[in-house]
Structure 1
Amino acid sequence: MNRQADPEEAFRQAGWPGFRARLFHLYFLLRRPMTLGVRGLVYNRASNSVFLIRHTYVPGWHLPGGGVEVSETLEQALVRELAEEGNIALTTPPVLKSMHFNRRSSKRDHVGLYLIEAFSQTAPKLPDHEIAEAGFFPLDHLPQETTPATLRRIAEIFGGERISPYW
């Protein structure tokens, strides 16, 4: 039986890091049966680049973002996550571009994708316990380890690809 390769398979971790990531998602599933997250596509028009992060606990380069906490709006969560993961502050409201069902995380996870074109970065993001690396990358020279979902979101926004309902 031939099994077709899953492009997301390469971004799953085995061993302790993978177990830790699954525990993290289980914790949020138990705490919040329906999970809601945000991701920000931070675009620097002058350099034609996007801001990406690499976590310490999952492989690949991702758009910054995370879970919406109790009593937070999507936009409040985005502002908090951008500050935490990139030292990025919005200078105008972000634009909600799409909503996606993230069936890889759980049967109840949804992610809102925002486009951010007006922002300031107070300082480059230095590594910490959550973020291993972060930076701006030209659209035509993204890191090889950029996740398939991140590449899809970039193609939808900048390449005119049809917006998928799935993350």
Structure 2
Amino acid sequence: MANPEDAFRQTGWSGLRARLFHLYFVLRRPMTLGVRGLIHDAANNSVFLIRHTYVPGWQLPGGGVETGETLAEALARELAEEGNIALAAPPVLKSMHFNRRSSRRDHVGLYLIEHFSQTAPKQPDHEIAEAGFFPLDRLPEGTTPATLRRIAEVFRDEPTSPYW
């Protein structure tokens, strides 16, 4: 039988060293990760957009992934907070984008949601000024360029940009 101290020396130090290197890179090169949901109501050929109180333009709902959350969990939380929307089936990851306008380390996952429910229309609050479904051929004035690009990539088969 192997000596437990020898086993620790063989695996424990390397495991500790790996954790220390990981901590160093987290502190030295922190990366942020976000999610956005492209909620498509196929029956009405419309998409759900929000307008924040603190930034201009209409955009897709979403936000940052919190520590300990998966992307799907963050998406479900953000959709509930920003739109009273619940997922009725797993969302489909369509693309990942580098959001260089936000920071040098920000990435955003775009999900397509076609199976959902909305408990009630989203009412304005401290974060969301307006929210609603808009026909794809009549998006509101002020829809952000990134939102327009994501819609074109998904519904008009435009090439997917690596940038948000």
Return the TM-score normalized by structure 2: 0.82
Q: Deviation string for 1:115-162 (max 9, x for gaps)?
A: 000000000000000000000000000011000000000000001100
Larger Rg: 2
**Where does residue 45 of structure 1 map in the other structure?**
42
**Where does residue 122 of structure 2 map in the other structure?**
125
Distance 1:38 1:118 in 2: 17
Q: What is the CA-CA distance between 1:33 and the residue it aligns to? A: 2.5
Distance 2:161 2:96 in 1: 9
**Where does residue 100 of structure 2 map in the other structure?**
103
**Structure 2 unaligned spans of 5+:** 1-26
- Out of 75, 78, 81, the position equivalent to 2:75 is 78
Question: 4+ residue stretches of structure 1 with deviation over 3 A?
Answer: none
**Where does residue 149 of structure 1 map in the other structure?**
146
Distance 2:126 2:105 in 1: 27
Please give the residue correspondences for 1:3-14 in structure 2 after superposition, counting only pairs within 5 Å. Answer: none
The answer to whether the aligner puts 1:62 opposite 2:81 as a matched pair is no
Distance 1:72 1:63 in 2: 20
**Where does residue 91 of structure 1 map in the other structure?**
88
Q: AA paired with 1:81?
A: E
- How many residue pairs match? The answer is 137
The answer to whether the aligner puts 1:114 opposite 2:111 as a matched pair is yes
Q: What is the CA-CA distance between 1:50 and the residue it aligns to? A: 0.1
Return the TM-score normalized by structure 1: 0.81
Q: AA paired with 1:133?
A: E
**Structure 1 unaligned spans of 5+:** 1-29
Q: Deviation string for 1:48-88 (max 9, x for gaps)?
A: 00000000000000000000000000000000000000000
SS in 2 for 1:124: coil
Q: What is the CA-CA distance between 1:107 and the residue it aligns to? A: 0.2
Q: AA paired with 1:119?
A: F
